Amino acid sequence: MNVFATLGCRIFQKGLYLASLFLPFRLPEEIEGADALAVKLGEMGLRKPLLVTDRSLHALGMEKKFLEAFRARGLDYALFFEVDPNPTFSMVEKGYAVYRDEGCDCLVALGGGSAMDAAKTLSIRIAYPQKDLTSFKGILKVHRKLVPLFAIPTTAGTGSETTLAAVIINDATRDKFQIDDPKLIPLGAVFDPTLLGGLPPHIIASTGMDALTHAVESFIGHSNYRQTKKDALEAIRLIHEHLLPFYKTPRDEMEARAMQRAAFLAGAAFTRSYVGYVHALAHSLGGTYNVPHGLANAVLLPHVLKAYGKSVYKRLAYLSDMLGLLDKTHAKKERAEAFIRYVEELNAAMGIPEYFENLVKEEDIVALARHAAKEGNPLYPVPKTMNAKELEIVLRSSLK
């Protein structure tokens, strides 16, 4: 990217950083278990939550303990379980019809990032029943009070239970975009490690690498705060210590709770410090090819880190030192490269491929890179700004 375009991005990012000092960021209240959530809803005077989840979790009966807790506390409820892996406008409209027709007064999202993205977008639809969801694309477009939202993560990775972001697809255009506003941060995050006990190893792997991507992109970006650095580093440490053991022993509740904590902290970090081109490219691939977000992030992370070059040597070297990957007597470049190798080896240990094979059509590459550049510039405070042409090169490096 030329110097003038880079300067424009940096000015925008600095302005946003300064403005963010005055925004009402908050962490969700941490709630332990189904009964505690039911008590909290009752204390707030809420009487009928809509529980939002997906078909696979519904088939497993994952919501039963929460619905039983609601009944035990005298709460009515409604259920919407048609969340897609990549939520769409039309799916949100279905959820809105249930919320309206059942007379609900709050939302409870049960699942991974998709359920939470769906519930967050649904909360916007409830507040703005006549407005096109496309008009909320970008930052700080939500100006009305939203209904209370609580999030119950059933994976340890997306961090969506802490974030101000919702990702949605316009199914008419296949445009996948992000809505960012502090009003979307859930009021509470409900932690129950028993919900993670039946996760397939490939889901543990991709969601865990999603959390690592959040923490790394937050840490290496240009809009860090003291607290976001602290949260990102602690998340990376927890992932380093617990992701592989959790992958190997999925029913270990101690490992599950540690990874829930890592995902929560990584989400807290990036909701203020933002992400980078890994996410921009992953969203582009997800919108066009329906690639699961965590998997896309996992594959792209080492390729994007390599493309950043010397702009990330100092901070990746710091991460290498923290994890004890290489002796500190080595040059920053070598220690940074050791961290990138660590990411590649972690992926390989969990069966995540190094490249996307037979996925991307040649005729789509230019459009995918342009979409990623449009998402990333000028919003994301990346270590090194790149235009669509440069992102096209990065994308090609991840293909086979």
Share of the chain above pLDDT 70, in %: 100
CATH for the stretch 29-191: 3.40.50.1970
- Residue 395 near residue 365, CB atoms below 8 Å: yes
How does pLDDT run across 225-251, given as a tens digit for each residue? 999 999 999 999 999 999 999 999 999
Average pLDDT over residues 253-274: 94
Backbone dihedral region of 103: left (phi > 0), alpha (psi from -120 to 50 degrees) or beta?
A: left
C-alpha distances (whole Å) from 240 to each of 85, 229, 318 are: 27, 16, 14
Whole-prediction pTM value? 0.90
- Residue 89 near residue 168, CB atoms below 8 Å: yes
Q: Residue 259 CB: number of other CB atoms within 10 A?
A: 31
> Higher-confidence residue: 252 or 85?
252
How does pLDDT run across 316-363, given as a tens digit for each residue? 999 999 999 999 999 999 999 999 999 999 999 999 999 999 999 999
- Residue 9 near residue 385, CB atoms below 8 Å: yes
Average pLDDT over residues 276-290: 94
Q: Report helix, strand or coil for 311.
A: helix
How does pLDDT run across 193-221, given as a tens digit for each residue? 999 987 899 999 999 999 999 999 999 99
CATH for the stretch 199-397: 1.20.1090.10
pLDDT value at residue 25: 83
- Residue 223 near residue 217, CB atoms below 8 Å: no
pLDDT value at residue 84: 86
Spans of all domains in the chain? 29-191, 199-397
End-to-end CA distance of the chain: 26
